[in-house]
Every structure is written in structure tokens, then in C-alpha cells.
Structure 1
Amino acid sequence: MTTAAPARERILGAAMHRFYAEGIRAVSADRLIADAEVSKVTFYRHFRSKDDLVVAYLERLAAAERTEVERRVASEAPGDVLRWYARFLGATTCAPGFRGCPFINAAAEHADPAHPARRVVDAHRRWLHGQAAALVTALGAREPDALAERLLMLRDGAMVAGYVGQAPDQVADALLAAGEAVVRAAIPSAA
């Protein structure tokens, strides 16, 4: 890591790497301070607590996903967006260093629903659900919330399958086939 980047970015960059690779609770503030090459004073000037840094980490991940999904939604047909997302997940979940969904991982480490990290996870999950519901509504779903929840469950399962070692094409193909089957069962005209 270069010391030329602003201190806040170096700290957040260290957290992006370590939290995902090692787990949030396993990484100490001291480890991040050393990685970012900052003092404790500088660390706590930018993040009042490790929890504040965890929130910033999760918000950055959520913003990146929102940006890409919203770009696709604005330029592609709903069915194409859903197919893209399945292929994207297949490629992502099987990439070297993949350790599962960072939001599910954070939720597992922070079981208290009132924890600030958990609130970010829950907000991101609601956003994902809303995006899926809007896409399937555009395809003609009569019960978009139920269908969106099924698609999110498939997404979660694909992430586990990728983490435990299936090949990218297998994950993407299986997710795509399962998603299309679920959509066709709920929206026969989508066939």
C-alpha cells in the first residue's frame, strides 16, 4: 500500500482487503493501522471506532454493487439484467480469494440486529430485494416480492456453491437455469 493515498483511503483499503479475507472480528484496529501506515490518532480521527470502519467498508461494497446494477437496469431489458447478474455471480463466486458474500459474512459476525454493521447489511438486502422485485414486476410477476425472495435465495446458494469450489461456468449455468425456472413458474409468459 502506498502512503501517497490519503490516510482515510489507506485505512479503508486495508479494511477492504483484511475484513473480507480474514473476517471482520479477526482483524484488529492495530493490524489495520499497521497496514495503512497511520498512527492511532489518525485512525481514530477518520473512524471513531472499528464499528465505524466496518460500516464504511460495507457501505463502499454496497455502493459498488448498486452502481453496476443500476447502470444495467438503466440500459438493459429486465430479463437481460437478471441473466447478467447470474453470470456475474458465477464469475465472482469462483474467483480466487472468494470467501462468500461479504454482507452475509458480516451478518454472521454481527448477530445483533441493532449493530451498525447489521443495519447496513439489512439495508443492502432490502435494496437487492427491491431491485429484483422491480425487475420481475416489469416481466409481469403478480407476486413480485415472493419471486424476488426466491431469486435472492438462489443468489445466496450460488455464493455458497462458488465458495465451496464449483467451477464458475457450473455456478453461473446452474443459477441461470434455476432462476429461469423459478421465473417461468411464476410468470408463464416469461418463457
Structure 2
Amino acid sequence: MTVDGRRPPPRERILLTASELFSTHGLRGVGIDRIIAESGVAKSTMYVHFPSKDELAAAYLRRTDVSWRDKLRAAAEAAGEDPADQLVGLFDAVSTAYLEHGFHGCPFINAAAESDPGSAPHAVTVAHKQAVRSWVRDLATAAGARDPERLALQLTLLIDGTLAAGKLEQDPAMPIAARAAAAELVEQSCGPRSGRSRRPPR
């Protein structure tokens, strides 16, 4: 239901239903018929808005991309104005994800394992990972990292590994350990605080 008590329009109902089901059961674990039944729309309505299951999965991942990148950015900004602190602080978003009820790991890693190269879901997944790495690289550059590309690769691999591990065992010690490892990597790459820029990228 919307805030005023009305049902969302059909496209939004389909996407909300699919998002919940895909997140819980994976892309291959959910059939179109179940999404149609649980969203309460006709099959013809489904295909008007989403011509294929791949297109629906891609729309779910695009929505997740916006949500997850907003959470990463908010966690980074909450760590303060120093870009180096933000590089470590963004791992607080990973810790928060672990605490969410029913955490099923990284939706993008899960989707990559279930989608074919060249498909719409796979393309969205690749674009998401590239966008996150680019943003982290910009932060690393602003923090004065000796090799921003390398640091961004290290940190994003650490994020992905921690999220993937969470699908197996939802141990809150994992993101805490990842944050500590990130702090060490940032310190090694960016050097003493006085040698870093304090101006985060816009």
C-alpha cells in the first residue's frame, strides 16, 4: 500500500513483488507465474510493463543499484569530511546489511551467478560493480592514495567478499574484520593524515 492507503500502480506492484522474491529466492528460483499471482496483475499487464523475465530482473537490479550506492555514500559521508575516513566508513553500510533480517548476500553477485553473459541482468550487474569501483577510486584519489586504482580494486573486492560470505554465515564479526582490513589498506596507501586532501569528490 502507498502512504495514503491506495495500492501502488501495476508496474510498481510487479517490481515490488519481484524485488522481494528475487532477493529471497534468487533470479532462477522465482517463476513469472508466481510474480504475476503475488502482485495481483494479469499476465498481459505483466508483459506490457516487462516483456521478459530478464527485463524484470534488470529493473530489480537497477533499483537495487540506486539503493545500495545511496547506502554506501551515506555511510561514507557519516564518517566525516576526510576522504580517507570515508573509504573506511563506507564499510559501515556492509555491517548494516548484515544486521538486516533475512540477509541473502550481495544481490549482484547472486545475479551474476544466475545470469548469462550478455543478458540484461548481467549487464546491469557489471555496470553496478564498475560504478561502485569508480566512486571508490575517486575517493581514493581525493585521499591522496599512491595508486587509487589499486586501492579501489582492493576495497571493492573486500566489500564483495564480505557480502558473499554473509550469504553462508551471517556473522557480524565479518564486516567488522573487513572494516579493520580496509583501515589498514587505506593507511598503507594514503600515508599520514597530514599528507592527504580533506576534500571529498562531488
Determine if the TM-score, normalized by the shorter chain, exceeds 0.5.
yes
Give the whole-Å Cα distance in 2 for the aligned partners of 1:162 and 1:190: 32
Judge conservation of contact 1:106–1:118 (CA < 8 Å) in 2: yes
Give the whole-Å Cα distance in 1 for the aligned partners of 2:75 and 2:103: 23
User: Pairwise mapping of residues 41-190 of structure 1 onto structure 2 (< 5 A)?
Assistant: 41-70=44-73, 76-77=80-81, 78-112=83-117, 114-168=118-172, 170-190=173-193
| Aligned match of 2:198 | none
2:169 maps to amino acid: G
Alpha carbons of 1:162 and 1:107: their partners in 2 closer, same or farther (altered >3 Å)?
A: same
Number of aligned residue pairs: 189
Q: Which range moves more in the overlay, 87-96 or 122-131?
A: 87-96
Shift of residue 129, structure 1, vs aligned partner: 0.3
Alpha carbons of 1:92 and 1:69: their partners in 2 closer, same or farther (altered >3 Å)?
A: closer
Shift of residue 166, structure 1, vs aligned partner: 4.5
Q: Which range moves more in the overlay, 9-18 or 170-179?
A: 170-179
Judge conservation of contact 2:105–2:165 (CA < 8 Å) in 1: no
Give the whole-Å Cα distance in 2 for the aligned partners of 1:55 and 1:27: 14
Judge conservation of contact 2:133–2:156 (CA < 8 Å) in 1: yes
2:47 maps to amino acid: Y
Give the TM-score of the pair, scaled to structure 1.
0.89
Q: Give per-residue Cα distances to partners, 1:148-170, cap 9 Å, x unaligned.
A: 000011111211333332432x1
Q: Give per-residue Cα distances to partners, 1:9-62, cap 9 Å, x unaligned.
A: 110011111001001011111000001000001101111111110110000001
Identity %, equivalent residues? 38
Judge conservation of contact 1:90–1:162 (CA < 8 Å) in 2: no
* Root-mean-square deviation over aligned CA pairs: 2.2
> Which structure dedicates a bigger proportion of its chain to helix?
1
Judge conservation of contact 1:7–1:38 (CA < 8 Å) in 2: yes
1:56 maps to amino acid: A
Give the whole-Å Cα distance in 2 for the aligned partners of 1:149 and 1:65: 18
Give the whole-Å Cα distance in 2 for the aligned partners of 1:6 and 1:98: 27
Give the whole-Å Cα distance in 2 for the aligned partners of 1:67 and 1:6: 25
2:156 maps to amino acid: L
Give the whole-Å Cα distance in 2 for the aligned partners of 1:166 and 1:24: 21
Give the whole-Å Cα distance in 2 for the aligned partners of 1:173 and 1:166: 12
Give the TM-score of the pair, scaled to structure 2.
0.85
Give 5+ residue unaligned stretches, structure 2.
195-202
Give the whole-Å Cα distance in 2 for the aligned partners of 1:176 and 1:125: 19
| Aligned match of 1:25 | 28
Judge conservation of contact 2:88–2:186 (CA < 8 Å) in 1: no
Give 5+ residue unaligned stretches, structure 1.
none
